[in-house]
Amino acid sequence: MNLMETKIRKIDKNQIDKNVIEEAGALLRAGRLVAFPTETVYGLGADALQEEAARKTYEAKGRPSDNPLIVHIADYEDLKKIAVNIPPETDMLAAHFWPGPLTMIFEKSELVPYGTTGGLDTVAVRMPEDPVAAELIRAAGGFVSAPSANTSGRPSPTTAEHVEEDLGGKIDMILDGGAVDIGLESTILDMTVSPPMILRPGAITAEMFESVIGPVDVDSTLLSAESSQAPKAPGMKYRHYAPKARLVIVEGDLREEILAIRQLAFAAAREGRKVGIIATSETLPFYNYGIVKNVGTRENEKTIARGLYRVLREFDEEDTDTIYSESFAAQGIGKAIMNRLEKAAGHQRIAASEIVKLQKYRRITFVSGTDSARGPMAAELLRHRDLEQEYVIHSRGMVVLFPEPANQKAEAIMKSAQMTLENHNSRQFDQEDMQEDALILTISESEKEKILAEYGAGKNVYTLNEFTGDNTEIPDPYGKPLTAYGECYEVLDRLITRLADKLNSITEEKAWQEK
């Protein structure tokens, strides 16, 4: 395909420049292609009544020509010119939802060429709300076909820059009206069946239709990913919106989703793989590994709809091999968000709980008497081991009167092994340390007994010897020369190696049991 010059014209919807609209309208009337903003996503406009213009649209997008286009109108009376046998509920629906993010499907009139409808006898019609779109449609003669202005298979464009990325050099003009409002494509409602049927979820939901015309059906292929049936909207069968990386949706309650994604990102980082994470303002601070992007806030799911395609495009610029996404509510606009996310993921999803239960312990606490030498040494040794999972590792003491730095001889020994206790401050063991996901390892038997006596049995409290199955006594170097600390270090080093092996084998064992 020969590249052409793509003119880019800024346009402000609050103060529409008539000259720009006239220039763009003339291009459309001449059978050329103009991308323009709508409230859903940017559309690739062409005159819907010219077969040749439809052909150009398919070519520019690289879209399969059996995937029909939506015809956009600006005035309700125009519907009668392109559709026949319009059912009576249409008036009510239009009164409530037009102009707006609703596409309705009707039997087509003679006026509409098969090139526009992908060979179908039906036509999809929408009246967009964006005033730039409405003015342009009028200037073009009233009927503008406009699929999303992206290359087929890429996320739909929510800014003029996205359009330029995909279609620069392939179309005549882009009207740049800034970022769109909704960010997901329109709801498609098939009016040729009774009751009408939703073929694609969007900002207008089944509940909203119900309050106007009573119950509507939902295309069953939208409900289950495994369905072998073809979806009723031809476009829904394609793996649209596909990012370059593998996208996996992590499903569960939010707490589990966060834990699972943390585990997956940690495992990837350990293997030297870069992963992406689709997070929200609320969950952003929980992730320490991977490239984390904020899609919006859970307080207002509209922001997530608006941010989704942007984030997917941004990930195409990063070289991540996998992107993990949190899930969103399956109500309201959340349904449309999940539908697009699942299509982008090619329906790959994992249950957060399956991942979460692979990791029994999330924190490891070493307990000694004063938390000044052996406990902190053990903790620091473990932090330097190659662990398959992420743990919060720290140390506590059973008799800590006030916080103190680590013993100086212990620090000297650690320094000579390229580690440090510099940031350590001793801390008293307390109830807070007894969490379900904590593994508590005591240096000697007496601390274990004390914990069990004070906080109750049945928790994960072991001596370090017991847990590692190695009975080498951990000598107490307190008050002795540096060499005694050195000997203590040697024993701890060996026990911690065994501990690391055991922690890593626990996860492997569990992972095998899952299979």
Binding site for Mg ion (CB under 5 A): 148
In the list Mg ion, ligand AMP, none, the entry touching 177 (Cβ below 5 to 8 angstroms by class) is none
Nearest residue to Mg ion, by Cβ distance, number only: 148
The phi, psi pair for 322, rounded to 5°, reads -140, 145
Closest approach of Cβ 126 to Mg ion, in Å? 13
Packing angle, helices 206-213 and 89-97, rounded to 10? 130
Of 55, 49, 60, the residue nearest 109 (C-alpha): 49
Least separation in angstroms between residue 41's CB and ligand AMP is 7
Task: Kindly tell me the sign of the dihedral angle through the C-alpha atoms of 292, 297, 301, 303.
Answer: negative
- Min. distance of Cβ 70 from ligand AMP in angstroms? 5
CB of 148 to ligand AMP, least distance (A): 4
Q: Which option in Mg ion, ligand AMP, none does residue 44 bind, with CB closer than 5 to 8 A by kind?
A: none
Q: By C-beta, is 148 or 359 nearer to Mg ion?
A: 148
User: Which one, 156 or 320, has the nearer CB to ligand AMP?
Assistant: 156
Is 195 in a helix, a strand, or coil?
coil
Looking from the CA of 64 toward its CB, the CA atoms found within 13 Å total 10
Tell me the DSSP string of 130-150: -HHHHHHHHHTTS-EE--BSS
Task: Report d(CA 293, CA 305) in Å as an integer.
Answer: 14
Hey, which residues does 366 pair with through a beta bridge? 395, 441
CB of 120 to Mg ion, least distance (A): 17
Residue 341 Cβ, how far from Mg ion at the closest point, in Å? 15
Pick from 193, 52, 210: nearest CA to 122: 193
Query: Which residue, 148 or 507, is less far from Mg ion as judged by CB?
Result: 148
Which phi and psi (to 5°) does residue 197 adopt?
-125, 135
Looking at beta carbons only, is 43 or 142 nearer to ligand AMP?
A: 43
**Does 221 engage in binding with ligand AMP (CB under 6 A)?**
no
Question: Which partner from the list ligand AMP, Mg ion, none does 195 bind, CB cut-off 5 to 8 Å by kind?
Answer: none
Distances, alpha carbon 478 to alpha carbons 151, 375, 408, 470, 504, in Å = 70, 13, 11, 22, 32
Residue 416 makes CB contacts below 8 A (sequence gap 6+) with none
- Binders of ligand AMP in range 101-160 (CB under 6 A): 105, 117, 120, 122-124, 147-148
Supply the minimum distance, in Å, between the C-beta of residue 12 and ligand AMP: 25
Assign residue 512 a region (left: φ > 0; alpha: ψ between -120 and 50; beta: otherwise): alpha
Footprint of ligand AMP on 78-107 (CB under 6 A): 105
Q: Which does 89 bind (CB under 5 to 8 A by kind): Mg ion, ligand AMP, none?
A: none
Q: Are 185 and 200 in contact (CB under 8 A)?
A: yes
Residue 483 class from Cβ within 10 Å (0-12 exposed, 13-18 middle, 19+ buried)?
exposed
Take residue 330 and report the two structure tokens written for it.
Answer: 């399956």
25 interface partner picked from ligand AMP, Mg ion, none, CB below 5 to 8 A per type: none
CB-wise, 198 or 461, nearer to ligand AMP?
A: 198
Q: How far is the C-alpha of 495 from the C-alpha of 490, rounded, in Å?
A: 9
Q: What is the x/- site pattern for ligand AMP, positions 28-67, by CB under 6 A?
A: ---------------------------------------x
- Which is closer to Mg ion, CB of 35 or CB of 500? 35
**What is the closest distance, in whole angstroms, from the C-beta atom of residue 376 to Mg ion in the complex?**
58
Task: Among 233, 245, 378, 495, indicate the residue that binds ligand AMP (CB under 6 A).
Answer: 233
Name residue 349's amino acid: R
Mapped onto helix, strand or coil, the DSSP state of residue 317 is coil
* Contacted by 259, from ligand AMP, Mg ion, none: CB < 5 to 8 Å by type: none
Site string for ligand AMP, 160-189 (x = CB under 6 A): -------------------------x--x-
Q: Name the helix (H) or strand (E) containing 395.
A: strand 392-397
Nearest residue to the partner ligand AMP, using Cβ: 235
Q: What is the closest distance, in whole angstroms, from the C-beta atom of residue 422 to ligand AMP in the complex? A: 58
Instruction: Indicate the pairing of strand 173-176 with strand 83-84.
Output: unpaired
Q: Which residues bind ligand AMP (CB under 6 A)?
A: 67-68, 70, 105, 117, 120, 122-124, 147-148, 185, 188, 199, 233-236
